[in-house]
Amino acid sequence: MIDDLALEQAVGQHHALGTSITLQIFGTQDQDVINKSFDLIDHYEDLLTVNRDQSEVMSVNHAAGKHPVQVSSGTYSLIKLAVKESRANFGFNALIGPVVKLWAIGFKGAHVPTDAQIKEKMRLIDPFNVELDDNNQSVFLTKEGMELDLGGIAKGWIADRIRDFWHAYGVNAGIINLGGNILLVGDSPKRVSGQWSVGVQDPKEKRGKNITSVMVPKCSAVTSGTYERYLVVDGHKYHHLIDPRTGYPVETDLAGVTTFTKDSVEAEIECKRLFFAGHPIKGWHDDPDRVGAIFVYNDEHVEYDNFNN
């Protein structure tokens, strides 16, 4: 029997983090928690954004090559995680900004830069040139011109904070959708199994058209793909996912990869790991927090890692 709570819903929509956000809570029609969640999202955007001149992260960037900057504990923990994962050198790099801006793919002025220009900017993206001071919660970018950008993992981290907030308010089931970054909270009240149905975008179709779908327990689903922002020059297609090891868009047969993990920030990180690998990694899903992954290739064939499809 389907839980009657599935019929009671509070839903809200909001624009923040450069995207459309939808929050859905089952078991109530009270909008109070939804509205407070939007306030919390706005608060974190104020701290973490690099799309405005002022934020805690921009304060760190403005001080690059000059002095350390003390930040709040949440911002510091996210920066510390981003730097740690960047140093692992699997493809994710929170310092990649200067190279990404050089290409400007998806923005006005997008072009293919010269090798010399790329090499010059590559000197500014070494994550080992970030000094972290745990005692003072301070961050120092040691070279002038360096930039920290948490956009690659911030949405996942914020989704996890919203889930924490919902738990504090006794929310048992809901969906946090930060522009396609999905976090499923609790068991689905729509199915006796408690499982959720999640669709995976077809890279050749408009947003919302799925190439496949899977049933999953409560988890986060995040996708990295080459199909939404790209530049075509002389018949060659350059997508926006720049490899920090080369300074060029990563060469891959993948159109996109979707990861399903317990926490959303982990889904963000693991999505990049698998995308830059270009194929399933042996033993990847041995970690119990990793539910599985779906790889969609340019020729439209689909590979399932840890799913019985």
What's the predicted TM-score (pTM) here?
Answer: 0.94
What would the mean pLDDT of 30-58 be, rounded to a whole number? Answer: 97
- The pLDDT of residue 202: 85
∠ CA 149-249-105, rounded to 5°: 65
Task: Tell which wins on pLDDT, 20 or 228.
Answer: 20
Helices 264-277 and 154-168 cross at an angle (nearest 10°) of 150
C-beta of residue 138 within 8 angstroms of C-beta of residue 69? yes
The band of 1, judged by pLDDT with boundaries at 50, 70 and 90, is very low
pLDDT at 235 over 90: no
pLDDT score for 225: 87
pLDDT > 90? residue 173: yes
Between strands 9-16 and 254-261, the pairing is: unpaired
Residue pLDDT, tens place only, 269-289: 999 999 999 999 999 989 999
Would the pLDDT of 198 be above 70? yes
Give the tens place of pLDDT for each residue, 103-161: 988 888 899 999 999 999 999 999 999 999 999 999 999 999 999 999 889 999 999 99
**What pLDDT score was predicted for residue 52?**
94
| pLDDT value for 5 | 56
Is pLDDT at 207 greater than 50 in this prediction? yes
Q: Which residue has the higher pLDDT, 236 or 62?
A: 62
Of the two residues 92 and 231, the one the predictor is more confident about is 92
Name the residue with higher pLDDT: 235 or 69: 69
14-33 residue pLDDT tens: 999 999 999 999 999 989 99
Q: Which has the higher per-residue pLDDT, 5 or 92?
A: 92
Q: Which of 48, 83, 76, 296 is closest to 178 using CA atoms? A: 48
pLDDT at 309: 63
* Averaged pLDDT score across all residues of the chain: 93
pLDDT of residue 6: 62
